[in-house]
């Protein structure tokens, strides 16, 4: 199974958790590099974080589209009959 297939098989919750973990690591790297005045690493982390933000926006849109459009889609309709 290649990387793309494994990502397709993941649930939305697993995808969200992975993205949160990656984003947190980027933010931590940015903070550490800023505190140590490592301009090159800070600039690199900020660029990566900007790309991540764009990726998350696309992912959010895709996951929103995958959700049911209304609660009515989840309701099971039972046939109506006469009781007698």
Q: How confident is the model at residue 72 (pLDDT cuts 50, 70, 90)?
A: low
> Which of 14, 4, 27, 23 has its CA nearest to residue 63?
14
Using only C-alpha atoms, the chain has a radius of gyration, in whole angstroms, of 21
More confident residue, 9 or 24: 24
In this prediction, residue 1 carries a pLDDT of: 45
pLDDT tops 70 at residue 28: yes
Q: What is the mean pLDDT of residues 71-75?
A: 59
Q: What is the mean pLDDT of residues 64-69?
A: 72
CB of 33 within 8 A of CB of 42?
A: yes
In this prediction, residue 84 carries a pLDDT of: 53
């Amino acid at each position: 199974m290649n990387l793309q297939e494994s990502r397709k098989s993941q649930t939305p919750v697993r995808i969200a958790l992975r993205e949160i973990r990656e984003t947190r690591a980027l933010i931590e790297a940015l903070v550490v590099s800023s505190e140590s005045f490592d301009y090159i690493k800070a600039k690199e982390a900020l660029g990566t974080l900007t790309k991540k933000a764009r990726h998350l926006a696309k992912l959010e849109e895709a996951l929103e589209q995958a959700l049911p459009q209304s609660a009515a889609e989840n309701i099971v309709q039972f046939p109506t009959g006469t009781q007698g």
